[in-house]
Structure 1
Amino acid sequence: MTIQRFDTGPRMSQAVVHGNTVYLAGVVANKAAGESVTRQTQDILSIIDGHLAKAGSDKSKLLTATIYLTDMKTFPEMNAVWDGWVSAGNTPARATVEAKLAAPQYNVEIMVIAAR
């Protein structure tokens, strides 16, 4: 079975496809780094849409999601954006945890696995 890698760098690939499963690396905000959790979540979900499309999938095929927040007090703020984005009737298994992220301008990181 072949493995496809997308947006590959020296440390990691943004997306890896094995069989009919798409694995995304953790995604942080590009344009909205340092902004509100709402803006960062919107930016991240837009990036996820792009990575899934490149890999031949979309948010209706999400299997799992892991969401990292630097402060669980922002859980409702992130959920408000997530709930508006996720495909109704196709919600993934999901976990949300509080964690320190790679740099202080990031307050949200999301990693998903999807079917193709």
Structure 2
Amino acid sequence: MATEQHAELIKTLHDCAAACNHCFDACLQEDDVKMMAQCIRLDRECADICTYLEHAITRNSPFVAELAKACGAICEACAEECSKHEHDHCKKCAEACAKCAEACRNVA
């Protein structure tokens, strides 16, 4: 079953989406929200694609490799953006996204 084969990826995707959602929410609380706009945007994109890929894997989608390629690219972009900021939530998000990007590349 694809779910068992990709169990570690599913956990990584879930953890990345959670980190992105936390970062998204925390960025909205920052004093200069406008400065965080790109971070917020990419947090949303990344959380959404990670959740979608997680669901696609669990339903044995024939497009897992293609989705993983897109997910890896989005996770990489989010990691890059979050790493530009000194906030703890951004640093943790960047780490989760970098880990997820690598996991997705291994599947793609």
TM-score by length of 1: 0.28
Structure with greater proportional helix content: 2
Structure with greater proportional strand content: 1
